[in-house]
Structure 1
Amino acid sequence: MGSDLEDSPASADGPRAVREGSVALKRKVTLINAIGLIVGNIIGSGIFISPKGVLQDAGNVGVALIIWAISGVISAIGALCYADLGTAIPRSGGDYSYILDIFGPLPAFLRLWVELIIVRPCTHAVIALTFAFYILYPVYTPCTPPDSAVALLAALCICLLTFVNCASVRSATRVQDLFTAAKLLALAIIVIFGMIQLGKGEVLHLAPELAWRGATNVGGISLALYSGLWAFAGWADLTFVTEEIRDPSRNVPRSIVISMTVVTIVYLLANVAYFTGMTPQEMLESDAVAVTFGLRLLGAAWWIIPIFVAFSTFGAVNGSMFASARLYFVGAREGHLPDILAMVNVHRYTPVPSLVLGGILSLVMLCTTDVYVLINYASFVYWIFIGMAILGLVVIEFKYPNMERPVKMPVVLPIIFVLACLFIVVVSIWVAPIECLAGAGITLTGVPVYFFGVYWQSKPQWLTDKFDACTVFCQKIMTCCKEEHQKE
């Protein structure tokens, strides 16, 4: 499979054509929706809560701001490379589809496996818990919200957004657009108050003689860059839904350029604003930087910030659910997951089985106390697969020079990003070797699953009958069937 890239359905025939009125995913994601999806997935709770991680490792304010800028540039390079891949291999599924076409089924399955069992469910659980904590924060202040209330509200968030995504693509994208606007409004409030402080001359810690005060070293800067790049994570999710984007060859690269520019500028301005409202020491001591900023500058209206943080995380859960369901859907369509996950609701044209599975797994993760630990395990593997996908662009450049690529990036860009991924992997091993080993071990548990579920085609009849009966039962429950397509 990996050696037949030019003969694959994606590269030979283009995206799958869909008959009018057929049961299939529809192209309902507009340019604005695509921008909302990228911005909404990148901006979660991180910029509101933990810019202190970059400052702590950077050593001083000046280096921290440079790290934020560099992180934005590197993330933008990665996103542009994904635009190239997404228009050359115009299928949903993101890096899973690219790895599958370029490097073959086993590494693609391992990418899908680690996303299915850890990355997405744990991410949804953590962000939903953050949403619940901050929506309850003003109610319980000065006390901490009880764990039971936080967990219950987080579960309600996951169930509600699963229902919204099952209902229709339009309802999911409207939710995404609304909450993306809310989080940008929150950041605009922070930036405006910061600019007011600058206008008053409150630039003490941004003045050159103080901004560069503080020890820095190569190791600290490396860790700061690692934290900064994680704050931009989410830019890859748009390519998970390529088949639902209107005019993807134009709208994918346009939405990526607009989104990454907006996010990078907003992140930089927000960090500048933070330093006008608090000292670097206060930032390092804060568990929620934006809330501390609100207490300093917004007075009695401080509660606006935690509410907007909650809105931000709510939108992030929605966007991640939307994207991850398409990943499971494409994986099942390729035969790497059970057939039921490759089916679409006959009335709503949404991948209901994949959405329901994602919701259930996220609820399960709410019940474990190790959810944060599991995410740490998976982060190391995440960058390996992202780097592998973009390395595929280098392979295409030299092995398939005549392949049609509507958005063609200079080969130097994927090389730069692959080197950045290699840097992150090395830093991860250096900082947390045990966690990296655990992450690699969890990923490799997918190897026997692959050989049993995918590679072994001659399963006994009684076993396939059981699988088929289960599939039919789920079809009836969720009123779904396989997509109907025609060649263009």
Structure 2
Amino acid sequence: MTVTSKILKEGDEDPEVKIELKKQITLLNGVAIIVGIIIGSGIFVSPVGILKEVDSIGLSFVMWIVCGLYNALCAVCYAELGTTIPESGGEYIYIYRAFGEVPAFCCLWINFILICPVGIAASALIFSMYILQPLFPDCNIPDNGLALLATSIFTLLVAINCWNTKWATKIQVVITASKLIALLTVIVIGFYYIIGLGETENFKNPFEGSDFSAGAIAISFYSGFWAYSGWSYLNFLVGELVDPHKNLPRAILISMVIVIVTYLIANVAYVAVLTPAQMLSSPAVAVTFGEHTMGVMAWLMPVLIAISVCGTMNGCALGFSRLFYVGSTKGQMPAFMGMIQQKRLTPSPSLLVILIMTLIYTSTGDIFFLIEMEGFGFASVLTMVFAGQVYLRYKEPDLPRPIRLPILLPIILCIISFLIVALTFYQKTRESLMALGFVAFGLVMYIVCVVWKNKPKFIQQKMYAINTLIQKCLIVLPVDNPDEVDWD
């Protein structure tokens, strides 16, 4: 079947319009997307996740700093890769360029089965928890209610992303402002307790009882990953970024400085008000903070936090839908995921697949399990990305690099990422084997769906019929010459 890319515009007789994603993301949009994704549920949940592993305020602060610096250095490496290879698809494209199809598919599959839906599901459940917790002050929130609200809010965000990309990016700016207001509220109140009331008791003997074991530090790293994750997602959208060679590194650096400083100050504010025991016993540490300090206005804190978590989900939908879209144009995902809506020019098939995958994971209800699974997948992908960055220096030494970092930096980050994965196998064997099982299943799917070219005719007809049905239902078209799309 031949699908036409011809779209009639009002006032024109029969113009040819190229079917592709538009460059409409500015520097401000880029900063809002990154900050909006990073400052989501992490800072409101990860303080508990880190503290329960390392067992002391002092070491938890060290881990926040270490995680921040590590993620900032990773972001700088991604800035080099993003300006060197300015294509949408992010880490998938970098691994594809360095190592070829099979490692790139592993990256794509890990993002598809672990990082994307697991991370969004965790954020959606956290959103529900913050909204519903005030309604159930003395009892547990019903699991069905938690899952229903989580699926409802993400479905709404997916609908907005399917309708208009500009709407999605504008919403991200508003959400980013809301979450900064929430954190500013925490910071102001916390420092009032320190400076105005002299509350410094919780800072005494900060390293007492610390767990310095490698396993505890590795697992606490995952909560740090969760809190800082999101800096890489703008690389998925480079094809839609205005002047990516300048705006990508600027957006990444501006965003990381804002986030690291904000996180460190916010953690000081938490500790000024809450004891370690109070933090560990709280399912929603920022809500507990508000209950102790805001009186009748305590309801405002969970509302602001819930809005901020929406930013994480919205940004993930923006970024990952483009990743899977690019994977499809490379022939490594179903063909319909490489199509965009005829009038709206949005990757609606990819967005709807993300929605379905997220709904499946939302039913688990175990937030910290989801965080650990997502962290394992993320560390695995980072190991491949930095190894590819090093190899590209050897494979394509003359490739123009607007940003050129010392080669030692990606080497060190690759080793650290690999050690985190290895330590996780030792500390969380069951979860690690489960994640490996998902990857192994993906390789089987790759052999069956991608490598096996000469499929029986009835299978090809079924696949063709499915793609055709989805095209008709969603009114989507393949991009014009996907292998020749100018992403610059």
Partner in structure 1 of residue 264 of structure 2: 268
* 1:211 partnered with 2:220: no
* 1:248 partnered with 2:253: no
Partner in structure 2 of residue 159 of structure 1: 155
Q: C-alpha distance in 2, partners of 1:448/1:22?
A: 36
Tell me which amino acid in the other structure corresponds to 2:329: R
Tell me which amino acid in the other structure corresponds to 1:101: R
Q: Deviations over 1:24-45 (max 9, x none)?
A: 1011111111111111221221
What SS does the aligned partner of 1:481 have? Answer: strand
Q: C-alpha distance in 2, partners of 1:129/1:215?
A: 30
Deviation at 1:214, TM superposition (A): 3.5
**1:311-350 pair list within 5 angstroms:** 311-350=307-346
Partner in structure 2 of residue 386 of structure 1: 382
User: Cα distance 1:259–1:345, how it changes in 2: closer, same or farther (>3 A)?
Assistant: same
* 1:110 partnered with 2:118: no
Q: Which moved more, 1:27-36 or 1:117-126?
A: 117-126
Contact 1:24 1:483 in 2 (8 A): yes
Q: C-alpha distance in 2, partners of 1:256/1:448?
A: 36
Partner in structure 1 of residue 306 of structure 2: 310
Q: C-alpha distance in 2, partners of 1:413/1:392?
A: 13
**Which of these residues, 82, 85, 104, is aligned with residue 86 of structure 1?**
82
Partner in structure 2 of residue 139 of structure 1: 135
Deviation at 1:93, TM superposition (A): 1.2
Q: Deviations over 1:290-337 (max 9, x none)?
A: 112111111221111111121121111111111111111011000001
Deviation at 1:373, TM superposition (A): 4.7
- TM value normalised by structure 2: 0.90
Partner in structure 2 of residue 398 of structure 1: 394
Deviation at 1:194, TM superposition (A): 1.2
What SS does the aligned partner of 1:210 have? Answer: coil
Q: Which moved more, 1:296-305 or 1:219-228?
A: 219-228
Q: C-alpha distance in 2, partners of 1:371/1:228?
A: 15
Q: C-alpha distance in 2, partners of 1:110/1:249?
A: 28
User: Cα distance 1:460–1:372, how it changes in 2: closer, same or farther (>3 A)?
Assistant: farther
TM-align CA RMSD: 2.2
Q: C-alpha distance in 1, partners of 2:16/2:68?
A: 40
**1:47-126 pair list within 5 angstroms:** 47-126=43-122
Q: C-alpha distance in 2, partners of 1:149/1:281?
A: 28
Tell me which amino acid in the other structure corresponds to 1:150: L
Q: Deviations over 1:59-112 (max 9, x none)?
A: 432222222111111101111111111111221111111111111111211222
Q: C-alpha distance in 2, partners of 1:144/1:265?
A: 34
**Which of these residues, 425, 430, 436, is aligned with residue 434 of structure 1?**
430
Tell me which amino acid in the other structure corresponds to 2:206: A
User: Cα distance 1:383–1:80, how it changes in 2: closer, same or farther (>3 A)?
Assistant: same
Q: C-alpha distance in 2, partners of 1:221/1:373?
A: 17
**1:353-392 pair list within 5 angstroms:** 353-368=349-364, 373=369, 376-377=372-373, 379-392=375-388
Q: Which runs of 5+ in 2 are unaligned?
A: 1-14
Partner in structure 2 of residue 181 of structure 1: 177
* 1:195 partnered with 2:203: no
Deviation at 1:342, TM superposition (A): 0.6
Q: Which runs of 5+ in 1 are unaligned?
A: 1-18
User: Cα distance 1:315–1:265, how it changes in 2: closer, same or farther (>3 A)?
Assistant: same
Contact 1:128 1:157 in 2 (8 A): yes
Instruction: Determine what percentage of the aligned residue pairs are the same residue.
Output: 37
Partner in structure 2 of residue 13 of structure 1: none
Partner in structure 1 of residue 225 of structure 2: 229
* 1:44 partnered with 2:40: yes
Contact 1:122 1:371 in 2 (8 A): no
Tell me which amino acid in the other structure corresponds to 2:100: G
Contact 1:381 1:440 in 2 (8 A): no
Tell me which amino acid in the other structure corresponds to 1:272: V
Q: C-alpha distance in 2, partners of 1:287/1:129?
A: 12
Q: C-alpha distance in 1, partners of 2:62/2:462?
A: 57
User: Cα distance 1:487–1:120, how it changes in 2: closer, same or farther (>3 A)?
Assistant: closer
Q: C-alpha distance in 2, partners of 1:361/1:258?
A: 32
What SS does the aligned partner of 1:99 have? Answer: helix
Partner in structure 2 of residue 6 of structure 1: none
Q: C-alpha distance in 1, partners of 2:435/2:421?
A: 12
Q: Which moved more, 1:174-183 or 1:137-146?
A: 137-146
* 1:477 partnered with 2:473: yes
User: Cα distance 1:375–1:218, how it changes in 2: closer, same or farther (>3 A)?
Assistant: closer
Q: C-alpha distance in 2, partners of 1:247/1:415?
A: 29
Tell me which amino acid in the other structure corresponds to 1:96: Y
Q: Which moved more, 1:224-233 or 1:27-36?
A: 224-233
- TM value normalised by structure 1: 0.90
Deviation at 1:203, TM superposition (A): 4.3
Q: C-alpha distance in 2, partners of 1:398/1:30?
A: 33
